[in-house]
Each structure stands twice: as structure tokens, then as C-alpha cells.
Structure 1
Amino acid sequence: MIRVGVHSGQQYANFDECLELWTQAEELGYDWVSLFDHQRPPLGGPDGPCFDGPTLLAALAARTRRIRCGMLVSAVTWRHPAMAASIAATLDHVSGGRLEFGVGAGGADLAYDQYGLPFPRTGDRLDMLDESCEIMRGLWTRDRVDYEGEHYRLTGAALAPKPVQERLPLVIGGGGEKRTLRTVARHADVWNTLVTDIDTYRHKKDVLRGYCEEIGRNPDEIRMSMTFRVVLGEDETRAEERRRERMALLPAGSPDVGEYLAFGTAEQCVEALLPYVRLGVGDFLLGLRPPVDRETMRIFAERVAPALRQAAAGLDGSRSADLVRR
């Protein structure tokens, strides 16, 4: 089953602006909407706006009814995994069992310098990620947890109430082949990455499958999720006009540019995404940041998403393109 979503982030000047986006995503039929868990993201400059992730997610979850509510992703550097597990369980109750909680080893964030927060070396953060996943799952599912690791220790630890969902989906973000994908194989319900070229993605999928085989896990148990950006228009002329407008908003050298998969029509977007559908990607998450590209958001929901779902159900690429043109 294909799910389509919006990765909204939380770099908004006020709550109402973010709530409007989440409400519209639900009304347009998206399956998922998510925040990240940066404190001071480098995008937007050193003093740009950024709401706290878990606090905002609770407020938005309480104001929506159907859509899956994602955290994509929470860095292990911000809080002890027992605290993260408690936050996630609380969010699952607030949302009525709609949470999907993402974790990662952490990356660039201005808060480490601005707030004087420790930023462990890469190897330590990857160890922390693996230990955190084990601790969180234990606290979500067991009455008591004892754990002795390199970075964390729990003694008779309890968490109540448990999440609403019998198995709260744990999303692991990242594509590192030596360590991160091994952790994905061990712990993830969903594996999320930023868009890459199709050959790179296929290779990483094969690496993940190899790690699953090593531990005796069925790789089909892990849902594949991809976050990307596109700019869409009703025709190629409009799409090119909108591409120029969007690029003009980005500062020189912006890391956002590499996340754009397509600039064009709905048909061209479907063509760009179909190879990932064939590889087994189940979640397609459209990245949006203010000023929100509502035209792309609408076109993707109304014309791209149905074609992707039909393709996943067995239609070939040409039939999917025909569906979009109707």
C-alpha cells in the first residue's frame, strides 16, 4: 500500500500557519504529516524561527483526526531514550494511536554551538542510536526494563501508560551503510531517507537486505520511506515559471536544492517516482517549508498520489500517466 505524506517541519512564525498546513494536508487526503526534531536548524539562518518538535506535534495531533502524525526524526543527542520513550507514548495517546516516531544519530544543528550542547563523535552517536532503539522498544512493551550499555543504564525501569498502538512504529532515518542500515535491520519498522538517485537507492536496499539476512529478519517487515521535494505546475510552462520562483527563494548553496526530485507536470513527477515504487518504496513524503508551495501540495495529492497507488497495485508506467491526464 502506498502512503503519501507531507514533511512540514516547524520553521513557521506562528502556530496558526503550521496548523493550517496540517489541516489542509488532512483535507486533501494525505496519509501522513510530520515534523522534525531540530532545535536550531541551519536552514533559515542562525536566528530563524523553529518551534519545539514534540510540543508542537502534541498540539497538532490534538487538532487533527485521521492523518498519521510523524516525528522525522528525533536526534539521540537531545534526550535520554527513556525520556524519548515517554514523550512518544504520550504523543501516541494524544493522537489516539496515530504516532510514528522517528529517531536518528543526529546531524547539523546550530544549537550545539549556540546552546553549548555536547555533540558526540559519529561513532558514539551511532552506538547511542542502537542502544536507544532497544531501550525505547523495551519500555513500550515490557513491564520492567534492565539495561546495561555503553551509554545508558536502566534498572527496573517502568513506563506507564504504554502507547495506544500495540506496536508503535519506530522510524529510523539515515542511509549509512556500515552502521545505520545495520541498526535499521535490527530495530526499524520504517526506514526513511532523503531522495537519492535510483542506483544508489537500490544499492542501499540491497545492503539492508543483507543485514536482515544476517540476523534472520524478513526485510519485507521494514517499510521503505523517502522524503523529497518537487515543484509542480499544471503544464510545463507554468512548472518552469514556478521552478524559477522557488529557486529564487533559496540562498546560494542551499542544501535544499539536492532534495528536489522533479520540476514539471504531474505526469513528469509520476515518471520520476515510478522507479522507486518498483523498488518497493511505500511512503512518499513531500517536503514543504515556508513559504508553503500549496499549488504543488494540491497537484501532488490530486493527480500524483492516485497514479502512484494505481502503479503499486499493478499498473504500468504508461497507464499511470494516462490516469494523471484525465
Structure 2
Amino acid sequence: MTPPTERGLRFGVHSGQQNHAFEECLALWRGAEELGYDWCSVFDHLRPPMGGPDGPCFESTTLLSALAAHTSRVRCALLVSAVAWRHPAMLAAAAATIDHVSGGRLELGIGSGGGDLAYQQYGLPWPSAAERLQLLDETARVLRGLWSGERFSFQGKHVQLTDAHLRPAPLQARVPLVIGGAGPRLLRVVAEHADVWNSLVAPQEVYRARCESLRGHCAEVRRAPEEIRHSMTFRVLLAENLAEVPARLAELRRSYPPDSPVWPEFLVFGTPEQCVEALVPYVRLGVTDFVLGARPPVDWLTVTLFAEQVVPELRRRFT
């Protein structure tokens, strides 16, 4: 993607890395770049709920660095890092390194954390929701302070830095900070720190209420809401025509059981034209960044139809 300071719609692929081989991850990223997508991202799970307790999953920061080194144009994002897992200084250093590897294409996402089997399997700490929100705020402040390249001290409830340095600083003068989530208290952190706010697809009335809440928080911190891009992650199943949809849906059901958490993320089962009409209201509600979920096994037909038919039509309507 072009940096979030530039206006206009952006389109990306979110490639949850539950792969058995690096080459599978790289094929999706290179394919997305060739199809003209602006953005590719990985998630920050160690043991994701989908795929079972022994399912495959590559570690996010090392994978992101490798994928960044093997691409040349797409924005390279982590969407999003659970703040309880890494000390903010370690995350800042990893991000600065990836920004150099990518040639200044990094966008870093952080969030308060969600479901992950690693908490049980690896014994990772799971602070309370209130503590994680405090840590989210402190992490955002530490990232900005260390990325400045200047000496930085910080005394928070969870994080303390004394005369800290991070060199080399990121290539970008301002690494775009994405904050993911939709809770009312989290949106206050978004208002204060985020360049991009990311959330999962939600019904239009729910999304509208969240946007209104975010505008209220922006007013409280005296920040213009227009400074924050709105990013929505979603899934669709596309076919060339309606007659092909039932067979395509039956194939998808063989990949995901009925109780899979992936189903609520689907917005459309249909044609590219139907997908356009389903996304138009979200553009009008303020969404600027559309991130198509493409967890393995990759549905290449959907990824291709979205890039070749949905993206051009949305750009035509809203440029």
C-alpha cells in the first residue's frame, strides 16, 4: 500500500501463516504483488485457534522480515502484535529492522491480544483486560519514542526505559502504527496513537456506532478523526457467476467445520459485482483500507477476481 498519509482507497491481502512451508507464504505475497494489491500482512499468533492444537504456524516477525526481503512494492504489515508477548523495546527494534529490510515499507499493528492456544501450551502471561489496555497505550508511546532515534526515557506502570537508544532508526520518518480492535476503551487508544484503525468486518449499524465512538474519543484528545485511516479485515468467496457459487461454497465447507470462527468473517458468497455492492456502504461509512483474508488453503480464484474486478470498480466509483 501507499503510506497511510496519502489519501484514497487501499486494498490488501491478510495471509495468516498457517502454512507447512515458507514457499507457500511467499507464493501468496508475490502473487498478491503481481495482481496489484497494495498491502500484504501476517498475523501474530503462535498457536492460532484454527487448525487444531498441533496445527502449523510460522512466527510473525521473522517471517515478515523474510517476506519483505522477497517483495519489492507491497506494504509489509504485522496485523496485529499482542502487546503482552514482547517488551515494547524488543518490538520497536524488530520493527526498525524490518523497515530497513523492506526498504521502508513496514506498517506495524499492535493490539491488546486475543485467543491463542499459546497461552496454555507455552505458559505465556495473560494479564487482565485492563492491564493489557494500559500496556497497549504504553507500547504505542515507547514505539514512537524509540523510533525517533533520539535518547528516550519512559516511566509507565508496566514499562520503564532509561536513556534508551534504538539505532539505526527506521527508514520511514513515521512508521505507520496500526491499532487493531473495537472495544470502547481500546478506541480511546486508537484516537490518541493510531495512524490506522483496523477491525474485523461487522454489520453496518455496529460499524457506524464504532466510528461515532472513535470520533468522540478524537474530540476528547483534540485530534482530527480524518488523520486516522479505517481498515477492515474480511473474507469473501467469489465466483465468475452465481451458478458456480453452491459448488464453491461446498468446497469451502470441506475446509472449515460449521463451528469454525472463520465464518463470521465472510461478507459475501457470490460474484464480484455482489462484492462491490456489499463493500460500497463501508466506503461511505469511512473505510479506506480493505484487507482480504486469505488464510491457507488459499482461494486463488477469489484473490484474483477481487483484484481484477472488485478493486478497479471501487476505485472508479470513489476516486
Task: Sort the TM-score into its range (normalised by shorter chain).
Answer: over 0.9
* Contact preservation (8 Å) 1:100, 1:170: yes
Aligned to 1:318: none
Q: Over residues 70-118 of structure 1, what are the superposed CA-to-partner deviations in whole Å (9 max), with x where a residue is unaligned? A: 1000000111001101111000000000000000000111111101111
Superposed CA offset, 1:269-301 (max 9, x none): 000000011112111000011110000000000
Question: What secondary structure does 2:262 align onto?
Answer: helix
- Opposite residue 83 of structure 1, the aligned amino acid is M
State the match for 1:151 in structure 2: 158
Letter in 2 for 1:170: L
Q: Out of 84, 95, 117, which is 1:88 matched to?
A: 95
Q: Write the distance in 2 (CA, Å) between the matches of 1:159 and 1:104.
A: 22
| Structure 2 counterpart of 1:49, from 53, 56, 79 | 56
- Within the candidate set 123, 131, 137, 2:130 is matched to 123
Q: 2 CA distance for matches of 1:312 and 1:254?
A: 34
CA contact under 8 A between 1:240 and 1:264: conserved in structure 2?
no
In structure 2, how many angstroms separate the alpha carbons of the residues matched to 1:131 and 1:142?
A: 18
Would you say 1:113 and 2:113 are equivalent positions?
A: no
2:180 alignment partner in structure 1: 173
Question: 2:291 corresponds to which residue?
Answer: 285
CA contact (8 A) 1:278 1:312 kept: no
- What SS does the aligned partner of 1:48 have? coil
Instruction: Indicate conservation of the 8 Å contact 2:49/2:117, yes or no.
Output: yes
Deviation readout 1:130-157 (Å, 9 max, x if unpaired):
1100110111115111111110101111
Query: Which secondary structure does the structure 1 equivalent of 2:316 belong to?
Result: helix
Partner residue in 2 for 1:58: 65
SS at match of 1:268: helix
- Which residue of 2 is the match for residue 317 of structure 1? none
TM-score using structure 1 length? 0.95
Match of 1:295 among 286, 291, 301: 301
| 2:190 equivalent among 171, 184, 194 | 184
- 2:20 partner SS: coil
- Counterparts of 1:261 and 1:124, CA distance in 2: 33
Which residue of 2 is the match for residue 228 of structure 1?
Answer: 234
- The amino acid across from 1:311 in the alignment is R
1:6 aligns with 2:13: yes
**Which residue pairs with 1:242 in the alignment?**
248
Structure 1 runs of 4+ with >3 Å offset = none
Specify the code of the residue in structure 2 equivalent to 1:89: A
SS at match of 2:275: helix
Percent pairwise identity:
60
Matched, 1:162 2:169: yes
Provide the rounded CA distance (Å) in 2 between the counterparts of 1:168 and 1:36. 18
CA distance in 2, matches of 1:148, 1:311: 48
- Output the CA distance in 1 between the equivalents of 2:225 and 2:250: 41
Q: Name the aligned partner's letter for residue 155 of structure 1.
A: T
Q: Structure 2 CA distance, aligned partners of 1:118 and 1:9?
A: 23
> Can you list the C-alpha shifts for 1:191-230, whole angstroms capped at 9, x where unaligned?
0000000111111001000110111101100000000000
TM-score by length of 2: 0.97
> Is residue 2:103 matched to residue 1:101?
no
> Map of 1:28-47 to 2, 5 A cutoff?
28-47=35-54
Paired residue secondary structure (1:71): strand
How many residue pairs are counted as aligned between the two chains?
Answer: 312
Aligned residue in 1 for 2:76: 69
Q: Secondary structure at the match of 1:255?
A: coil
Higher mean alpha-carbon deviation, 185-194 vs 118-127, is at 118-127
Q: Is the 8 A contact 1:8 1:35 kept in 2?
A: yes
